Structure 1
Amino acid sequence: MTALTVTRAEPDTGTPMLDAHLVVVRDSFRLDVALRINAGEVVALLGPNGAGKTTAVRTLAGLLPLSAGHITLAGQDLDRPAARRWTPTERRPIGVVFQDYRLFPHLSALDNVAFGPRRRGLDRRQARQRAAEWLDRMELADYGRHKPRQLSGGQAQRVALARALAVDPALLLLDEPLAALDARTRLDTRAQLQRHLAEHPGATLLVTHDPLDALVLADRLVIVEHGRIVQEGDAGTITAQPRTDYVARLVGLNLHRGWADGHTVRIGADFVLTIADRHDGDVFVAFPPSAVALYPLRPDGSPRNVWPATITGIQRHGDNLRIQLAGPVDVAADITPAAAAHLHLAPGQPLWAAVKATETRVYPAGSPRTAGTD
């Protein structure tokens, strides 16, 4: 995956606009995540279902109280249980765009956008004037009288974004803002959203399942699993050195952890990979599915890394087929439909997999990144 290039103002790297340590305990689930976002910065929060992304958004928005920790926005404490401080949702300088947009069905697009400014103290005329300006910026000036049911998905998303931005939020929360759109509308709306986020002077937190949305829209990625941060950094760092299976799948790599001794890495009890460069100690080994070659019989004189495997699944992946393989190590391989037809591939079929040492990427494992403490 390749991130698109966008010209953004450099984020303010001084005191962060958002400084939060989110600790929420609900039944058997515990969220413990530290988030710091600078003014003008877009941070994407990614993770599998149940990782705690929605809990983080609801907590920041004031819809769910903290169990411990703090939320400090633009220098003001919004939530700090230890000091018995909590700010109601309507008094937080935060704009939210939900996955289903949650536009008021009985209000026009203009009055939907004007709702926030009215709640913040502007009179009806001033609020509607501001709303009209935001609809014009969203290229929706001709749709002000339309009710939500009269808008397309992309238009509704832009109205929801205008409503969130019309209150000049210090923090903009985007909860899967493109998930409800079809592929073509998503492409166009992503490009428009990219432009508006580049102009937003406050902090932005984007929650998404889509790695392309994150790579295109965000300056930095934060990956959460089981309520904790497992990796964070810019797109280049994350995609080059994934540290969990989820992150590896997200960026399209096979990932295994093992013990390196020179030019070999032992994975599990008795599987050894040959690697190109010398390493020692606890390491990750990553390689793309395109680097995995498949053979009906054990190849002679081929890469040194050869092992027996069994097909467990076949899916379309872009122009290729992605073959899921079980064996001494479980991997994914990408091959062309023509190659698949030549090999007569089918689930349950045994074959041989191989990867060249030069196709592997090896780096120290270390410990996953976790949240700090107050």
Structure 2
Amino acid sequence: MSLDAHLVVDRGGFRLDVRLAIDNGEVVALLGPNGAGKTTALRALAGLQELSAGHITLGGEALHQTPPERRPIGVVFQDYLLFPHLSALDNVAFGPRRHGVGRHAARERAAGWLDRVGLSGYTNRKPRQLSGGQAQRVALARALAVEPALLLLDEPLAALDARTRLDTRTELHRHLAEHPGATLLVTHDPLDALVLADRLVIVEDGRVVQEGDAATITAQPRTDYVARLVGLNLYRGHATGHTVTLRDGFTLTATDRLDGDAFVAFPPSAVALHPHQPDGSPRNTWPATIAGIQRHGDNLRVQLDGPIVVAADITPAAAAHLHLAPGQTVWAAVKATETRAYPAG
């Protein structure tokens, strides 16, 4: 294990208490809503935020009392924080120089890294002469040039436009796959996490609420935030056989048989809308009121109020057929075969 950390930070009324373990060659994404503690965790690892308690061990060496400049860590900040008065080459050479590498050797190493990120022709350009994607690659090269045991990425694609983000994400994936050390990616974007990371750690209110590979987390979310992240409707209740009774008494039928506290989840695409109570196979039906309608890819995302709050995805043709409008009453239906139930404990 390269990184073994227990990060405890008390700041005002907020307390971060997170354990992180990352192997060499592994990319872990730290996900969570704004204010969850993601950036605080990154700053604590980098030495920019003092720990209230806990520890940071990297490659078997305790780092929590080591000054930031002496930690074998590379950081790519959200806004890149390139030195505006230095060329791209000297920005990348800065880290090795701080680590005692001679000027000529540091510049040679920097030139090599700029070549690896596809910027060999940009060595003399200042940050203001670079596009957003180019600046991001210079920042990545600067972080990797110190040959870090731990690479920290703070929302590395957030400042880019959609097209540049797509291309840069692909490039970043390649460089992270080649990085021999541990990598922590802090992001609020599930796509960045799913594409770039081997494992996800979800934090809310300064605590880890779920962790695992993408398949596990997307299949069995355990909080409303994670459910929204992976695009599922999620409810908690008590299961008896195939029936899950929610806290307000509403029941959902699932194919999975369980007994005890349980989650039940289904995708918005599994929700069918009808003008009248449907007959036939759907075993979960209830009256609902349309709270809102918005575009969602090629479909429409319909927000429903009623005994449960639900998101439903339907085609524009179906919406036109139903003459949907906010405030309208419809019947929602979900087949039991479309739901998943799993233990909440």
Task: State TM-score, norm by structure 1.
Answer: 0.91
Residue number in structure 1 paired with 2:11? 26
Gaps of 5+ in 1: 1-15, 80-85, 367-374
Task: Trace 1:212-227 onto structure 2 (pairs within 5 A).
Answer: 212-227=191-206
Q: CA deviation at 1:167?
A: 0.2
Moved more, 133-142 or 269-278: 269-278
Residue number in structure 1 paired with 2:207? 228
1:232-281 CA-partner distances (Å, limit 9, x unpaired)? 00111111111011101111111111111112110123211112232111
Inter-partner Cα distance in structure 1 for 2:269 and 2:151: 38
Correspondent of 1:349 among 328, 331, 341: 328
Q: Name the SS for the 2:291 alignment partner.
A: strand
Q: 2:250 touches 2:307 (CA, 8 Å); kept in 1?
A: yes
Inter-partner Cα distance in structure 2 for 1:335 and 1:200: 43
Inter-partner Cα distance in structure 1 for 2:279 and 2:162: 45
Inter-partner Cα distance in structure 1 for 2:56 and 2:110: 29
Q: Name the SS for the 2:63 alignment partner.
A: strand
Q: 2:74 touches 2:152 (CA, 8 Å); kept in 1?
A: yes
Task: Trace 1:234-313 onto structure 2 (pairs within 5 A).
Answer: 234-313=213-292
Aligned pair count reads 345
Q: CA deviation at 1:340?
A: 1.4
- For residue 279 of structure 1, what is the amino acid of its counterpart? L
Residue number in structure 2 paired with 1:72? 57
Residue number in structure 2 paired with 1:173? 152
Q: Name the SS for the 1:132 alignment partner.
A: helix
Task: Trace 1:60-99 onto structure 2 (pairs within 5 A).
Answer: 60-79=45-64, 86-99=65-78
Inter-partner Cα distance in structure 2 for 1:245 and 1:45: 17
Correspondent of 2:29 among 12, 35, 44: 44
1:328 is aligned to 2:328: no
1:151 is aligned to 2:130: yes
- For residue 349 of structure 1, what is the amino acid of its counterpart? Q
Q: CA deviation at 1:326?
A: 1.2
Q: CA deviation at 1:202?
A: 0.5
Residue number in structure 2 paired with 1:362? 341
Correspondent of 2:43 among 58, 78, 82: 58
Inter-partner Cα distance in structure 1 for 2:21 and 2:124: 39
Inter-partner Cα distance in structure 1 for 2:340 and 2:239: 12
Q: Name the SS for the 1:347 alignment partner.
A: coil
Inter-partner Cα distance in structure 1 for 2:35 and 2:177: 30
Q: 2:256 touches 2:342 (CA, 8 Å); kept in 1?
A: no
- For residue 45 of structure 1, what is the amino acid of its counterpart? L
Q: CA deviation at 1:48?
A: 0.6
Correspondent of 2:114 among 135, 141, 147: 135
Correspondent of 2:99 among 120, 133, 136: 120
- For residue 106 of structure 2, what is the amino acid of its counterpart? A
Residue number in structure 1 paired with 2:180? 201
Inter-partner Cα distance in structure 2 for 1:131 and 1:223: 35
Inter-partner Cα distance in structure 2 for 1:279 and 1:348: 36
Inter-partner Cα distance in structure 1 for 2:101 and 2:255: 65
- CA RMSD across the alignment: 0.9
Residue number in structure 2 paired with 1:82? none
Identity percentage of aligned residues: 81
Task: State TM-score, norm by structure 2.
Answer: 0.98
Residue number in structure 2 paired with 1:319? 298
- For residue 99 of structure 1, what is the amino acid of its counterpart? Q
Inter-partner Cα distance in structure 2 for 1:263 and 1:168: 54
Inter-partner Cα distance in structure 2 for 1:277 and 1:73: 43
Q: Name the SS for the 1:117 alignment partner.
A: helix
Q: Name the SS for the 1:133 alignment partner.
A: helix
- For residue 271 of structure 2, what is the amino acid of its counterpart? V
Inter-partner Cα distance in structure 2 for 1:128 and 1:278: 64
Inter-partner Cα distance in structure 2 for 1:313 and 1:87: 52
